Structure 1
Amino acid sequence: MHVLIAPDRFSGPLNAVLAARSLADGWAEAAPSTTVTALPLSDGSAGMLDVVAAARGGTLVPVQAAGPLGSVTAAAVLHVPGDAGGTAYVEADQVIGTDLVPPEARAHAARAGSSAGLGALILSALSTGASRIVVGLPTPAVVHDGGRGLLQVLAGGETVGDLPDVAAARERLAGRDVVIAAADGVPLLGLLGAGALLGQDPDVGPVLAQELERNIGETTAEMERQIEDQPRGLLLSTGRDQVRVARQEGTGAGGGAAFALRLLGGRSIPGADVAADAVGLADAVEQADLVITGSAVVDSASLTTSVVATVARAALDRALPVVVVAEEIRTSRREVAPLGISGTYEIWERSRLHGARRRHGASDLPDAVRARAARLARTWSTA
């Protein structure tokens, strides 16, 4: 029996690489004769570099970049050699991730934080000579500047009025294939946009989120006008109307960094699909009899755009059974069935009396993941 283990990251320090290792170790303990392949994945947010490096190797290029509030933070870009200079991978979570700012500073970061550090990472990616630049973007991010900071860096400080010169920034990326690996498809503006999600953060609140929505709406409109004469097909035609870039699917990732990169000619692809292609998920599935995936939380949203959904669809093409492991399962058997998911399992058992999970610390998680994998092996292994 050949088992493929392809999870996303779990919570705390258990990134995708460590989660895959814990699941593989637990399975091997209970079914040592099984062939187990660990293939950690990412949705484009935290841990993307670790995942690609584990599968493809490459060189980590250290970068000193500004964090969301300006302080210098250590980051890196991954360069994977290949044709035409290869591919450089940029992980935006290193400079705009939500874990970089404490809760009491979240409102300030949303109002005054900058994506300039991401611009520095992209410049470092360009310096590798790679013809393809993959930018992994989280949703949400701790900043909400519509990508203004990164545009300012890429434009070299040139401005049009008081805004970055988008044409100058586009020139900096000329000839490069820029791929936006977005964690989900939320737009920047609108009732279901990144601003609305920001308003659900209790440390930010709806009042500030509405203020930022108005400000960014005006700013993005001005930046879009700078590229109206560019033949890149940025505006989507819908009958008589055209959809603004800032309202298009996926532009809200990274606090609007995805919007800025779309203005620069970047193309947006679901982050989980980008990672799956980079690590060779399709080929790995071809060799498997059973596929195990997972993440911290599995809910209805994750059944469309996520590592779990991407892995399940790849396995469905070969009619392979898929097992999902998560800290929390918020879906029903009926919801997961169309993806070919045969079973969903929480890492910690619920109380039989109250249906509630016991509270556990982050230090308990790796051992609990191994224990759950061992129980799965005893149920699913044919060895």
Structure 2
Amino acid sequence: MHVLLAPDCFTGTLTATQAAEAMAAGWRSSAPDDLLTLRPLSDGGPGFLDVVEGARGGRSVAVTVSGPLGVPTPAAVLLTEDGVRTAWIESAQAIGLHLLEASERDPGRTSTRGLGELIAAAADEGAERIVVGLGGSGTNDAGAGMLAALGAGPGEVLGGGGAGLVAAREGDLAELAAVRQRLAAIDLVVATDVDAPLLGLQGASAVYAEQKGATPEQGQLLEASLGHFADLVRRVLPPGEDLLTGRPRRLDRAPGAGAAGGAGYALLVLGARRVSGVATVIEAVGLDELVAAADLVVTGEGQLDWQSLQGKVVAGVCQVAAPHAVPVVAIAGRAMIGRREAMAMGASGVYAVAERPDQVEAAMADPVGTLTARTARVAATWSPRR
């Protein structure tokens, strides 16, 4: 049997490549005669560059940028040539939640400034297209820090985190139009892992700020602060009209605007076009052809929950496999969805490494060993020995 192993990273414990290798070790221990193909994936978050480079090659340019709290942080820009010089950027390298200690997680203070520095570095390399993978961020500033790094306004106002944006004024965005004009010749693409808007009950602050360290009260303050900032942007750089309604476009309501704490919104303001992060990776790695050649696909991620059903790797793999009638099984660190949700997503089976709460600590302590062991048991079910 030909098995395609195509997991996402297990956030906080394993990269996508490490997860695929652990799965392969487990599968081989139970089904040594099966043919395995490893193709790690990403939804635009952590591991985005590694996955794209592993599939397409390219030249990596090392840079040092500001981390979420301004600490110098190593990062990279991946350059590929496919008729168009394309720069690939992984925002998590500059603004990732994993760059912060638990005590440092405060989305009221963390900034996207480093992401702006990465975009500037890509432009300096002569990129004709810049693809920005958004996901896994520790920020919630509507991309204001990124805009400051690109020259839209003073860093002391825009780069101090989402909470400080309540004090911003129109003059603090005086160069926003000029920044947009400078980038107009570049095909700016934002690859998001979620389709959330910037504001509202499904927006960046309401849904994701708590994961980044905010209290419910702070989440409400961030919502107000980001709403104030979006209003300033509309006044400084009035949006065009929606062709269907004739009304001004509301970029804060656009799908993906809430990605990475609203960095998606700022990129849309600069003229970016939004695409699905996982769909971008699926195309880049040629997953459709790999799935068509397989008898079974095994995917997975750290926690399979309701968010996994919306623009994440497991759902994306299921969508690719469905037309080929290739079954997909998912192995997750924890599975928070039931059989009905799994079947609706297109998964033939969902298996958890930690099946009970008391198993979580062991899974976190030995992620490779526990994932390997769980995969071995899955292989015994799906590829029984003759």
User: If the length of structure 2 is used for normalisation, what is the TM-score?
Assistant: 0.89
Q: Displacement, 1:291?
A: 0.6
Q: Does 1:204 align with 2:214?
A: yes
Q: Deviations over 1:7-51 (max 9, x none)?
A: 001133311011011111221232222111111100111111111
* Residue of structure 2 equivalent to 1:104: 103
| Structure 1, 163-172 or 323-332: larger mean CA deviation | 163-172
SS where residue 108 of structure 2 aligns?
A: helix
Verify: 1:142 aligned to 2:138, yes or no.
yes
Contact 2:315/2:346 (8 A) holds in 1: no
Counterpart selection for 1:153 from 149, 170, 176: 149
**Which residue is 1:362 aligned to?**
364
- Cα distance in 1 between the residues matched to 2:37 and 2:124: 34
Structure 2 residue identity aligned to 1:143: T
1:216-273 deviation per Cα after TM superposition (whole angstroms, max 9, x unaligned): 21221221233326xxx5x546757555211222101122111111011111112111
Q: Counterparts in 2 of 1:1-383, with a 5 A limit?
A: 1-85=1-85, 87-107=86-106, 110-138=107-135, 141-155=137-151, 161-163=171-173, 165-198=175-208, 200-201=210-211, 203-228=213-238, 236=242, 239=245, 242=248, 244-350=250-356, 357=359, 359-360=361-362, 362-381=364-383
Q: Is the 8 A contact 2:204 2:261 kept in 1?
A: yes
| Residues in 2 aligned to 1:321 and 1:149: alpha-carbon distance in whole angstroms | 44
Deviates more, 1:54-63 or 1:310-319: 54-63
Deviates more, 1:154-163 or 1:362-371: 154-163
Q: Which moved more, 1:25-34 or 1:36-45?
A: 25-34
Q: C-alpha deviations, 1:94-136, integer Å up to 9, x for none?
A: 12111222333323xx223321111110111122323221101
Structure 1 Cα separation of the partners of residues 305 and 109 of structure 2: 32
Q: Which amino acid aligns with 1:105?
A: E
Report the residue type matching 1:218 in the other structure: H
Q: 1:12 to 1:64 in 2, by over 3 A?
A: same
Which 4+ residue blocks in structure 1 deviate beyond 6 angstroms?
Answer: none
Q: Structure 1 residues 357, 276: closer, same or farther in 2, change over 3 A?
A: same
Three-state SS of the structure 1 residue aligned to 2:333 is strand
CA distance in 1: counterparts of 2:116 and 2:174, whole angstroms: 12
State the distance in 2 between where 1:76 and 1:250 align: 24
Structure 1 counterpart of 2:375, which letter? A
Code of the residue aligned with 2:315 in structure 1: it is A
Structure 1 stretches of 5 or more lacking a match? none
Q: Structure 1 CA distance, aligned partners of 2:314 and 2:208?
A: 24
Partner SS, residue 105 of structure 2: helix
Give the paired residue count. 371
What letter matches 2:299 in structure 1? T
1:335-373, Cα deviation, whole Å (9 max, x unpaired)? 1213331111112454xxxx8535315341111212222
SS of 1:345's partner is strand
Give the RMSD, CA atoms, in angstroms.
2.3
